[in-house]
A = this chain, B = another copy of it.
Amino acid sequence: MHGLADGMIPSSDSPAPAKSPTNRSRSEELRVLRALAVAGADRGTIEVTSREVGRQIGMSQQAADRRLLALERAGDIARTVHGRRPRLSLTAQGIDALRAEYQSLRRIFEGPSRLELHGIVVSGLGEGRYYLSQPGYAEQFPSRIGYAPFPGTLNVRLDGEMRRRAAMVKQWTGIRIDGFQASGRTFGGAMCIPAKIGGSPGHLIRPDRTHYEDVVEFVAPVSLREKLKLIDASPVDIELEEP
C-alpha cells in the first residue's frame, strides 16, 4: 500500500567542506544541537563547558568536545573562549538544521488524522440493531452522515496493539449524533468517524458513554456482512479519517 518515499533524509547534503561526517554521527550532532538550543543557544549566547554538555548528553567531556568541534567545523555553532568562560551559540545554519528536523516531525504529528486498523469480526448481542431502530437516532443519520444505515452494526474486535492505536480516535472530532429521551429512558449521544471497512464506506460509532474497549462498531448503508461476505472471526481492514 505504501512505499518508502525517497528523498527525505533530513539534512540531505549541505556544502560539505572539510570532513564528510557520517550519517551516524550527524544524528548525534543534531542531538547535541538540540540540547544546546534547549539551553537557550538558539536565541543568544550561553556559557557551557564541554564537561557540562557531556553530562547533559550522557557522555564524557572528550566525546562532548569532539561533537562541539564537529558542529563548529560544520558551521552549526559558533564558540568563543572568554578567559575561563567558554561561550557558544547556534548559528543561523545550525538553527535551520534543527528546524528541518522539527518540520519533518511536525508533518507526522500535525498532518491530517488518518489511521489504519485491523481486527476480526465478532457477533454483538443485537444492541446495535435495537439502537439503530430508535427513531430518535434513525432520523438524525440521513442528514448528518448522508445515508440511512443498514439496521445492524458490524462489531470488530481489536487486539492490544490495535486498541492502543485506536485510542487516539478519542481525541478526534467526528460527526455528532445527539442523545435524546424516549420511552422514559435516556439514550446517549455518539460520535461518527468516517471509515472504510474492507474498502466499503461506513462510519465508526463511538458512543459518548462507553470507554474505548476491545470491540468497535460500524454502520454502513448496506449490510457489510453480506457485501463483504464476512462471518464471525473474519479479518477486516479498517481505515479511519477525521472529517
Contacts and interface: CB of A to CB of B under 8 A. Distances in A.
A6 interface: yes
A9 interface: yes
Interface stretch (A21-29, A174-182, A199-207): A21-29
A91 B161 contact: yes
Interface stretch (A39-47, A128-136, A139-147, A184-192): A39-47
A53 B159 CA distance: 27
Interface stretch (A97-105, A148-156, A210-218, A220-228): A97-105
A57 B9 contact: yes
A36 B39 CA distance: 29
Contacts of A164: 91-92
Contact of A159 (B8, B24, B47, B98): B8
A124 interface: no
B38 A3 contact: no
Contacts of A24: 28, 59
B23 A108 contact: no
A9 B48 contact: no
A171 to B, nearest CB: 12
A106 interface: yes
Contacts of A59: 23-24
B108 A5 contact: no
A95 B161 CA distance: 12
Give the most central of A44, A95, A117: most B CB within 10 Å: A44
A93 to B, nearest CB: 8
28 contacts: A1-B47, A2-B39, A2-B41, A3-B39, A3-B52, A4-B48, A5-B38, A6-B56, A8-B159, A8-B161, A9-B35, A9-B56, A9-B57, A10-B160, A10-B161, A24-B59, A28-B28, A34-B108, A43-B115, A44-B116, A44-B239, A92-B164, A95-B165, A101-B105, A102-B102, A102-B106, A102-B109, A106-B106
Counting from the closest, the 6 A-B pairs by CB-CB distance are A44-B116, A92-B164, A102-B105, A2-B46, A2-B40, A4-B39
Interface of A: 1-6, 8-10, 23-24, 27-28, 30-31, 34-48, 52-53, 55-59, 78, 91-92, 95, 98-99, 101-102, 104-109, 114-117, 120, 159-162, 164-165, 167, 235, 239
